[in-house]
Amino acid sequence: MQNYSTIQKFLHDFVLSKKFINKSLFELEKIIYLKNIEIKDQSHIFITGLPRSGTTSLLNFIYFSNEYASLTYKNMPFILSPHFSKLLNKKNISKKERLHGDGIIYDINSPEALDEIFFNNDEEFIKNELANYIQLILLSENKDKYLSKNNLNYRRIDLITKLLPNCNFLIPIREPLQHAYSLLNQHLHFSQLQQSDDFIRRYMNYLSHNEFGLNHKPWNKPINFKDLNDINYWLEQWCLFYQNILKNYQSYNNCFFIIYEELNNQNYLKVLLEKINFNQVEKLNLNYFKNSNKKEIDIDYAKDNYENAKDIYIDIKYKFI
């Protein structure tokens, strides 16, 4: 979305704001390209959870093994038609740092959280078409397994598991105060960006990226803290999110809580890869993750709010991988 021309902005606005365009291309693509390959027995990976917990780093880490197909920037804005999008999308995106300002570099071939365009349809459509959609993505990349990063897929773990019984969900969790501080800073950062460029706001809305910014939507209804410019709001959201995730999915064999601070631990990564049936560890750079240096946080916060979050974090940290 950075430095898009007027024509590119118009194309994204036109295509992404009208579902019938993407769905029509999807139907046409099925007619031309769909081969009904068997995908249900494959161990597809869905990375989901709160942003700023390492989801993008996990996505890039696994994707660059070259074992998985994923949506990339070259699929924009024709997200539901992976073959057509590659043919139609000839623009070149040179390597640059993403708008978050967090050191993550991307180009047109980088994977991204884009499949919410598909999931932002009624449940009947998802049930009937998810296997077809993933097949088209796999066929377009000549791969057997699908890799998705979608922070909203925690809402449909049961549905996806029912359709793809051998899939795995990776749910990162990060030290709550550091995590809340990062969320707050990104909210302030994107609010400012969106005020200066409304296309950024529209673009994020099309992709349901309402994690922060002017159109932020809470993951759970706030209880005691409602000021988005207060770190306590983000700490409370952290608590509510992981309380619910832990309650609902801790017993699921295909849900793995991933500790953000352990991602630079090679032994930890090897255990994780074994659990998700990734057998070619040598294909991955186990030194991929940077040290998660803690930031000094000089902001007042409610101690009981943080203590509640810390208890949840410790419980998850010592209960899972």
Mark 59-82 as b/e (b = at least 16 C-beta within 10 Å): bbbbbebebbbbbbbbbbbbbbbb
User: For 177-194, how does the pLDDT look when each residue is reduced to its tens digit (9 = 90+)?
Assistant: 999 999 999 999 999 999
Do the bridges between strand 255-259 and strand 168-173 make them parallel or antiparallel, or are there none, so unpaired? Answer: parallel
pLDDT digits (tens, 9 = 90+) for 197-222: 999 999 999 999 999 999 999 999 99
Q: What three-state secondary structure class fits 209?
A: coil
The pLDDT of residue 290 is above 90: no
Residue 243 is predicted with a pLDDT of 95
Place of tokens 């991602």: 263
**What does the alpha-carbon distance between residue 168 and residue 212 come to, in Å, rounded to a whole number?**
27
Q: What is the pLDDT of residue 173?
A: 96
| DSSP β-bridge partners for residue 172 | 258
**Higher-pLDDT residue of 17, 182:** 182
Domain ranges of the chain: 6-319
- Give the single-character DSSP code of 69: E
Mean pLDDT score across all residues of the chain: 90
pLDDT at res. 79: 94
Query: Is residue 321 scored above 70 in pLDDT?
Result: no
State the architecture of 6-319 in CATH terms.
Answer: 3-Layer(aba) Sandwich (3.40)
Band of pLDDT at residue 3, cut at 50, 70 and 90: low
- Check residue 221 and report its DSSP letter: -
Cis omega before residue 176 (within 30°)? no
Mean pLDDT of 66-77: 93
CA distance 125 to 156: 14
% of the chain exceeding 70 in pLDDT = 96
Q: Where residue 168 falls among pLDDT bands split at 50, 70, 90?
A: very high
Instruction: Please list, residue by residue across 291-313, b when 16 or more beta carbons sit within 10 angstroms of its beta carbon and e when fewer do.
Output: ebeeeeeeeebeeebbebbeebb
0.95 exceeded by the pTM? no
Output the pLDDT for position 108. Answer: 87
What digits encode the pLDDT tens for the residues 217-237? 999 999 999 999 999 999 999
pLDDT at 312 over 80: yes
Residue 86 pLDDT = 79
Using pLDDT thresholds of 50, 70 and 90, give the confidence band for residue 93: low
Give the pLDDT confidence score for residue 237 in this predicted structure.
98
- By the 8 A CB rule, do 222 and 20 touch? no
